[in-house]
Amino acid sequence: MRPAPSRAEWERLADSMLLAVRPWATDSHALIHLPGPASGSGRWSDGLEGYARTFLLAAFRLAGAAGDDPHRIAEWYAQGLAAGVDPDNPDRWPRLGECAQAKVEAASVALGLHLTRPWLWDQLSDRTRQRLLDWLAPMVGDNTLPDNNWVWFRAVTGAFARSVGGAWSQDDFDHAIERTDRWHAGEGWYSDGLSGDAWRNFDHYSGWAMHFYPLLFCSITGDDELAVRYRNRLRLWLSDYALLVGGNGSPLVQGRSLTYRFAALAPLWIGALHDATPLPPGQTRRIGGLMLDHFVNAGSLDDDGLLTLGWHRRFPQIRQWYSGPASPYWASKGFAGLLLPPDHEVWTAPEVPLPVEQVDYEVYLPAPGWTVSGTVSDGVVRVLNHGSDHIDPAELATDDPVYARIAYSTHAAPEMSPPLDSTATLLDSDGRAAHRRPLQAIAPGVSRSRAHWPADESWNPFHGPETTYTLGPWITVASVIHGATEVRLVRVDESGPWRLRIGGWATVPGNGLHSALVDLAGFDVAETRQSKDTNPLGAVSEIPLLFTDGFVEAGRIYAAAVHLGGYPLEALPELDISTDVIDVRWPDGRVDRVAMPPV
């Protein structure tokens, strides 16, 4: 078991990342214009994002060192702040009314100033402090915020402003608290807002936003009673979170904003900081260190020491419309562990292996509707998704690859393409695949969706494109998993001129994994499709596929074994199929019974 990085190594990496962005700053330091394509908010906004997100990293570094500042971090960022809030400076920051994205970055500025108050805020001139508060003030009572994690940007900025004599609103605080309670789906799981009044928005925002900001807010406001609520939820959630980290240190490759990478560590550190974690201190350090190493060793930092838009390497296809060159620096949240002092037990206790390094497990998580399988022999974590897709259930939509796939993993990534890998779909006469969103959860491991073919296949995590859809039949899909192998069962409820296709795991050649897809019932044709520049993990990817040779038969149960692991698929399960119930008999004697009720 290789040791996790020491705290000193975390500090050195933070320093190198902070120094690497300086050449890209304006002379005033107010804007950091990193190289790369502009976001939908434009270059000016991206420059503020470069300042704010790296400032949060600087704040963790400075506060964690109790003000020891060999690289003059405080001075450098103070100069930038003074210029940014100066309305007459050519490098001034966009006002909150000029650019909605500035509201996101305001939270990082406010949180950073709170954490570094003795070394930065208290050293600013009265004029600069007032200008900063004037810049933050329009956030108060702003009713244009998206109804998701953004409510905490307003609450955090208000909490800081209140602490230093600025404008704030109790209504803003109450609103964030009320919405967060409403979005809590149980067992510590937050949906990042609601889709169609339903909990469907499960992704990394549950951790790096919804479990990150509330406890920091409470630490600013001193609301210990409210903090108890958030600590209890975080303890529950971290128990599940640990199951979703692979033995390679990777978090789950699922959900939007994946370019934030090791920001996925943020809730882990918040749990340790606020006595809100069930994990042993040595396991917290090991998860943190493995995840950091995973991304650094995979090339997330380029030759100039800059975080790129991508997952491992530079991979622009992973970006959303709001992603710009500085967006990856949301990963700064992954350095919140530096707020733990050097003698904290997280840094001193013996390392404890991850759950997937200790024992095989299969766990159902009811809030997101995920079945999780982890295997010690290869460290792979797999998630079977039959519960959430980040879309209004009443709205037809295109499939966003990071939400609509049946399966996700820590060792494989979805193809950034229309439905292909990890799917069960119908092909029309032109060979076009039907889309899945929105799905309907039926039971643990069982979901259905109405097949539909959009004229425009572009995707968006929040809604489908304004286009026309051709409707097809309902498709019911069930999954059971044992170790590295899933049995995927499919039933189509109408006959018609469609072929059924199942897609297995997309893998990158040479990664040591075995991806297999084997017919168990009803498939006639097998194919391995190769794709280029469509997968976050590598330039070339391969996807195993199974097809029916003829048109699909209504009511028939089709089945395949879908395998992803460090070892090949050797023995197949047997199936006993009746009309609506299937018994899956595994080679070791275990039997899983699956019910697939008709529509």
**What's residue 4's pLDDT?**
87
pLDDT digits (tens, 9 = 90+) for 125-165: 999 999 999 999 999 999 999 999 999 999 999 999 999 99
Please compute the mean of the pLDDT values over residues 519-535 and round it to a whole number: 97
Q: To which residue do tokens 């006002």 refer?
A: 95
* Maximum alpha-carbon separation in the chain: 77
Give the Å distances, CA to CA, from 201 to 101, 345, 367, 464, 492.
Answer: 21, 34, 10, 15, 27
Please compute the mean of the pLDDT values over residues 10-31 and round it to a whole number: 98
Q: Which helix (H) or strand (E) holds 528?
A: strand 525-535
Q: Is 472 within 8 Å of 500 (Cβ atoms)?
A: no
Q: To which residue do tokens 């919405």 refer?
A: 179
Is the pLDDT at 1 greater than 80, yes or no? no
What is 216-268 written as a DSSP string?
A: HHHHHHT-HHHHHHHHHHHHHHHHHHGGGS-TTS-----SS-GGGGGGGGHHH
Average pLDDT of the chain, as a whole number: 97
**What's residue 59's pLDDT?**
98
Determine how β-strand 574-577 pairs with β-strand 581-585. antiparallel
- Phi, psi of 51, deg, nearest 5: -65, -55
Expressed in percent and rounded to 5, the helix, strand and coil fractions of the chain are: 35, 20, 45
Full strand arrangement of the beta sheet holding 525-535: 423-427, 499-503, 538-547, 525-535
Q: Is the dihedral of CA 54, 57, 63, 68 positive or negative?
A: negative
Closest C-alpha among 401, 406, 357 to residue 380: 357
Q: Is 256 within 8 Å of 203 (Cβ atoms)?
A: yes
What are the extents of the domains in the chain?
7-357, 361-595
Q: Is the dihedral of CA 450, 452, 457, 463 positive or negative?
A: negative
**What's residue 416's pLDDT?**
97
Q: How sure is the predictor about 351, in pLDDT bands with cuts at 50, 70 and 90?
A: very high
**What's residue 580's pLDDT?**
82
Is the pLDDT at 477 greater than 90, yes or no? yes
**What's residue 597's pLDDT?**
80
Q: What is the dihedral of CA 369, 375, 380, 384, to 10 degrees?
A: -20
CA distance 36 to 52: 17
Looking at the DSSP bridge assignments, the partners of residue 532 are 540
Is the pLDDT at 598 greater than 80, yes or no? no
461 φψ region: left (φ > 0), alpha (ψ -120 to 50), beta (else): alpha
Write down the H helix ranges in 448-550. none
SS3 36: coil
Q: Is 25 within 8 Å of 79 (Cβ atoms)?
A: no
Q: Is 468 within 8 Å of 483 (Cβ atoms)?
A: no
* Cα atoms found within 13 Å of the Cα of residue 593, Cβ hemisphere only: 5
CA distance 20 to 71: 12
**What's residue 424's pLDDT?**
98
**What's residue 578's pLDDT?**
86
Question: Where does 7-357 sit in CATH, by number?
Answer: 1.50.10.10
Per cent of the chain over pLDDT 90 is 97
Closest C-alpha among 173, 210, 207, 171 to residue 193: 210
CA distance 553 to 473: 11
Nearest 5°: the CA angle 7, 9, 13 is 120
SS3 436: coil
**What's residue 208's pLDDT?**
98
Q: Kindly tell me the burial class for residue 350, based on how many C-beta atoms sit within 10 Å of its own C-beta (0-12, 13-18, 19 or more).
A: exposed
CATH class of the domain defined by 361-595: mainly beta
